[in-house]
Amino acid sequence: MADGCYRIFPLGDNALTIEFGTDISELLNNKAISLAGYFEAQPFPGFIETVPAYTSTTIFYDLVTVRNEFAGFATAFEAVENIVENVLDKLDKASENGSRIVEIPVSFSESRALDLDFVAESNGLDRSEVIEIFISKIYRVYMLGFLPGFAYMGEVDERIDLPRKASPRLKVPKGSVGIAGRQTGIYPLESPGGWQIIGRTDVELFTPHEDSLCFLRPGDLVTFVEVETSLQ
Amino acid sequence: MSLLVTKEGIFTTVQDLGRFGRKRFGINQTSVMDAAASRLINILLDNDQSEAVLEMHFPACEILFEGDAIFALGGADFGVELDETPVENWRSIFAEKGSVLRFRQKLSGNRAYLSVAGGFEVVKWLGSASTNLAAKIGGYKGRTLKKGDQIGLKTKSARSEFISKQISRSPIPPYSQFPVVRIIVGAEYELLTPLSKQALKQNFTISNDSNRMGFRLSGEPLCLSETKELLSSAVNFGTIQLLPDGQLVVLMADHQTSGGYPRIANVITRDFPLIAQLGSNDKVAFQLVSVEAAENLALEFETELNVLKAGCKYSG
């Protein structure tokens, strides 16, 4: 990796995390995505899966297999750490991840934008200004997590940002577009949740089909377009 | 051949050892809470260790055998009776067509497992039969079992050469209502104040709002020497996070794939069963061990399972 700066720590006895930094950055996020992609494509014996996040990648492994296959190391943790360090050198030369550009239609009608008035009021704006500011940006998908297909996207313009609700909603409707601080995300399923809901989309973010589980993936660039409330 | 739920329990689901390989899409493992118990009874029945089982909480459901079957129970002890005869955990048992399994009283533990020889007939989703309640997929129709549900068995009839077998004590986890659970340090452990590091050694109580997603602990609050805003990253089964109010939460089988709270420690694989069998008001104490010790303890258990497995193979 270009700056060679990272930290590796165990996440239990069957996983480790490589943390490239502690601040949101496209560069660090790309590193996390590339590293995860490398192991998904070229797994080592005992490899289970990766989770790329904002600035980190976590690798889950079967410690029994790793211990048996890499007997020269005192621990499975050290063996995987060594594998990761070797791969990080190689990835240095790796090219950028190709980003897809994805358009998501959103309805901001009153019945769907549950917290739009609150977001507007809290930021001293009116509804249309919040919508205008929100849809004028291109957002990057940094990671998936929380729920199947839930994409953490950023960064929301600070003129319209707002922390999570103090008390989460018990039921956030499927397709709800929310804001939490400077992050935005879409609920792929009905779920409890604390994000401030400013609109809703009909796009299926998650389907149970193995080959098309999630509509969005890390590294995607997302634009939201306002649609009339012809959505059901 | 099938089992029929004749009375509903509070929280019965189909689970196996978990759905792996899709965490990066936000799809979590949603496995059994106590993998040791389900693996042990599956081995006893000569099933694949990863065969799906029923995970039951108390009060558990009542189950009618609609045909002859061989089954085994493990984990919590809910005072089980087959018709009017008490049946023990960790033993393979023959059930005649028409007999009824009842879970009379909560004697120990919080999650009881039922496996059948041959396994349950459940459709796998993404390689696993576990129930993902958030996505309402997997297991039995993606939900908890209700009265009237009929769950098929893969084996059409029970083996005529049935011999009752029992698991020797050694691989059975040393369950307790107040276990010492071993942990390894987490990414933010070193940020705890010296007093909070001491406080991690106190006896914690499992609070009422504990479920398959996580156990909330109550005790003297802990704090970090510097407040740190963390970006979300992956978490694991057994990850112990520090909540803003100073209390700890231990992430369990249905935990979300990512989180942003400080990671103080992680429960070691070997001791998952001990914490998984706890319920509200039970107590737990933690003991720090090295990664190497944690790994060795996991390997030791695998060796014990292999010994058991060798002894449980049916001849022919």
Contact yes or no for B291/B182 (Cβ under 8 A): no
Residues of A in contact with B136 (CB under 8 A): 189
List % helix, strand, coil for chain A (3-state, nearest 5): 25, 30, 45
pLDDT value at residue B262: 94
In a domain, B305, yes or no: no
CATH 3.30.1360.40 assigned to A7-91: yes
Positions of CATH 3.30.1360.40 in chain A: 7-91
- The answer to the question of residue B215 being in a domain is yes
Whether the CB of B302 is below 8 Å from some CB of chain A: the reply is yes
The domain boundary residue, chosen from B112, B138, B167:
B167
For the cut 60, the answer to whether the pLDDT of residue B108 exceeds it is: yes
Strand partners, A199: A177
The answer on B188 and B61 residing in a single domain is no
Q: Tokens 């909070």 label which residue?
A: B196
Substitution target in A6, A9, A13, A60 with the highest count of B β-carbons within 10 Å is A13
Choose the final residue of a domain: B141, B167, B193.
Answer: B167
Q: Do A49 and B268 count as a contact with CB atoms less than 8 A apart? A: no
Name the CATH superfamily, with its identifier, for domain A101-227.
Answer: Cyclophilin-like (2.40.100.10)
Chain B residues whose CB is inside 8 A of the A164 CB are none
Strand intervals (E) in chain B = 2-7, 13-15, 53-56, 62-65, 69-77, 80-82, 85-86, 93-95, 100-103, 108-116, 150-152, 180-185, 203-206, 214-218, 233-234, 239-242, 248-251, 258-259, 263-267, 283-288
* Closest by Cβ to A24, choosing from B22, B231, B263: B231
Which domain-ending residue is among B132, B167, B202? B167
Summarize pLDDT for B161-184 with one digit per residue, the tens: 667 888 888 899 999 999 999 999
Cross-chain residue pair A52–B24, CB shorter than 8 Å: yes
- Distances in Å between the Cα of A93 and the Cα atoms of A21, A34, B18, B102 are 20, 11, 36, 63
The reply to whether B149 and B205 lie within a common domain is no
Residues facing residue B251 across a β-bridge: B214
In this prediction, residue A3 carries a pLDDT of 56
Backbone phi and psi for residue A30, each to the nearest 5 degrees, phi listed first: -60, -40
Residues of chain A found within 8 Å of residue B239, distances taken between Cβ atoms? 11-12
pLDDT score at A228: 80
Any A CB within 8 A of B21 CB: yes
Q: What percent of chain B has pLDDT over 90?
A: 88
Q: Which of B47, B38, B17 is nearest to B312 (CA)?
A: B47
Which residue in the set B21, B134, B233 is minimally distant from A54, CB to CB? B233
Report the chain B residue with the minimal C-alpha distance to residue A15: B236
Residue B239 belongs to domain spanning: 180-300
Nearest Cα of chain A lies from the Cα of B181 at a distance, in angstroms, of: 13
Nearest to B190 by CA among B253, B256, B242: B242
What residues of chain B lie within 8 A of the CB of A17, using their CB? Answer: 187, 233-234
B193 and B238 housed in the same domain: yes
Asked if the structure places residue B33 within a domain, the reply is yes
Residue B222 within a domain: yes
Domain count, chain B: 2
Chain B environment of A75 (Cβ under 8 Å): 291-292, 295
> For the segment B279-289, what is each residue's pLDDT rounded down to a tens digit?
999 999 999 99
Complex ipTM, two decimals? 0.96
CB contact under 8 A, B256 and A10: no
Query: B236 and A64: CB-CB below 8 Å?
Result: no
Give the tokens for residue A211.
């080959």
Per-state percent for chain B, helix, strand, coil, to nearest 5? 15, 30, 55
Q: Is residue B313 part of a domain?
A: no
Q: Do B258 and A191 touch (CB under 8 A)?
A: no
Q: Determine the distance in angstroms separating the CA of B314 from the nearest CA of chain A, rounded to an integer.
A: 26
Q: Where in chain A is the domain with CATH 2.40.100.10?
A: 101-227
Chain B within 8 Å of A145 (Cβ-Cβ)?
A: yes
Look at residue B144 and tell me if it is in a domain. yes
- DSSP-derived pairing of the beta strands B150-152 and B108-116: unpaired
CB-based contact (8 Å) between A190 and chain B? Answer: no
Residues B108 and B145 in one domain: yes
Distance (Å) from the alpha carbon of A126 to chain B's nearest alpha carbon:
30
Find residue A50's DSSP bridge partners: A59
The reply to whether B161 and B37 lie within a common domain is yes
Strands B108-116 and B69-77, bridge-based pairing: antiparallel
pLDDT exceeds 50 at position B131: yes
CATH of the domain at B273: 2.40.100.10
B149 vs A211: which has the higher pLDDT: B149
B68 plus B208 within the same structural domain: no
B105 CA: distance to closest CA in chain A (Å): 33
Tokens coding B104? 């009379």
**Which residues 113-132 in chain B show a CB within 8 A of chain A?**
125-126, 132
Query: What's the CA dihedral at B179, B79, B1, B119 to 10 degrees?
Result: 10
Report which of B144, B194, B169, B147 is spatially closest to residue B40, judged by C-alpha positions.
B169
Q: Does residue B306 lie within any of the structural domains?
A: no
When the pLDDT of each residue in chain B is averaged and rounded to a whole number, the result is: 94
pLDDT in tens, B234-262: 999 999 999 989 999 999 999 999 998 99
Residues in chain A where the model's pLDDT stays below 70: 1-4, 92-98, 229-232
Tell me, yes or no, whether B66 and B144 share the same domain: yes
Look at residue B264 and tell me if it is in a domain: yes
Do residues B152 and B203 both lie within one domain?
Answer: no
pLDDT in tens, B58-106: 999 999 999 999 999 999 999 999 999 999 999 999 999 999 999 999 9
